[in-house]
Amino acid sequence: MKEQWCIPTVGAAFVWRMEDILDLYAEPYDPQRPVVCFDELPYQLLDHVVAPEPAAPGQFAREDYEYARNGTCNLFIAFQPLQGWRHVEVTARRTAQDFAQQIQRLVDVRFPEAEVIRVVLDNLNTHTPAALYQTFAPEEARRLMQKLEFHYTPKHGSWLNMVEIELSVLARQCLDQRLADRASVERVVEPWEARRNAFRATVDWRFTVKDARVKLKDLYPLQS
C-alpha cells in the first residue's frame, strides 16, 4: 500500500484543486455564500495612423492597416455564474494593489451582505492574501480575509474558471477593434456589461466531478 502513494504530486494536486472547484460549481445558489469567478486581461491600446473612413452607400467602412501602439491597460472581471452577473473594471495596471482594491470592492460594494464570498481564481502571484496586507492596514486586510475564501485553479487548469468563457465573449464582442485609450475601452465595455447583466447571460456548465473521474481518469493516480 505504501508504494501506491509514491506518485507524482502534479497529478494529485491537479485533481484536488479541480474537484474542489467542480464541487463548488455543483452547489445551489446561496446569497450568503456567493461564488464569484475572477480574472484579469491585459489589453494593447492601438490608435489609427490614418483616420478610418465610415461606411457610405455602396461602400463598406475602410480602415488602414497601419496603427500606432498607445500603451496598455488592464481589465479586471468578476463573474457570478448562478446570477448571470458580471462587472468589468478598466485599470491602468494589474499590480497586487490593484487586485487588492478589486477584492475590497467585491466585499464592500458588490456583496456587502454576504457571510463569505467564494472566489475562483488562478495562481497569479498577485492573487494572494498577501496582496491585501501589502495594500491595507493589517486590521483591514484581516477584515477582508474573514469574508473571503480563495479557490485556486490548478496549474494548466485555467479552463476550470468560468470567467475565462466570459472573457472570450468580451474579447470577441468588444475588444476585436482598435481602441486608443482607457476611456474608449470603458465606452465599449460598459454597455456590453449592462446588456449581458440585463439578460442575465451565463455559462451552462455541465462538467462534474463524476465526469472528471471518467473522462480524465489518467489524472487519477490510483485509477490509471
In a domain, 35, yes or no: yes
CATH of the domain at 67: 3.30.420.10
Residues contacting 111, CB < 8 A, separation 6+: 34, 36, 117
**Dihedral pair phi/psi, residue 96, rounded to 5°:** -60, -35
Nearest Cα to Cα of residue 29 among 152, 114, 149: 114
Report DSSP state, residue 185. H
107 part of a folded domain: yes
Mean pLDDT across 32-61? 81
| pLDDT at 8 (0 to 100) | 43
**Any domain includes 4:** no
Instruction: Give the pLDDT mean for 12-18.
Output: 91
- E-assigned strand segments in the chain: 35-48, 67-80, 85-91, 117-121, 148-152
211 in a structural domain: no
Mean pLDDT for the chain?
89
CA–CA separation, 9 vs 14, rounded Å? Answer: 8
Does residue 50 carry a pLDDT above 80? no
In a domain, 7, yes or no: no
Quote the number of domains for the chain: 1
pTM: 0.87
Q: What average pLDDT does this structure show over 14-26?
A: 95
Q: Is residue 6 over pLDDT 90?
A: no
Q: Burial of 191 by CB count in 10 Å (0-12 exposed, 13-18 middle, 19+ buried)?
A: exposed
Q: What are 88-145's pLDDT values in tens digits?
A: 999 999 999 999 999 999 999 999 999 999 999 999 999 999 999 999 999 999 999 9
Instruction: For 192-221, write each residue's pLDDT tens digit.
Output: 999 999 999 999 999 999 999 999 988 887
Show the domain range for 201: 27-205
Which grid coordinates are listed for 84? 448571470
The pLDDT of residue 9 is above 60: no
Does residue 213 belong to any structural domain of this protein?
Answer: no
pLDDT at 54: 72
**Residue 149 to residue 151: CA distance in whole angstroms:** 6
Separation of alpha carbons 110 and 76, rounded Å: 14
Is 175 inside a domain boundary?
yes
For residue 55, pLDDT beyond 90: no
- Whether the per-residue pLDDT at 70 is higher than 90: the answer is no
- Residue 83 inside a domain? The answer is yes
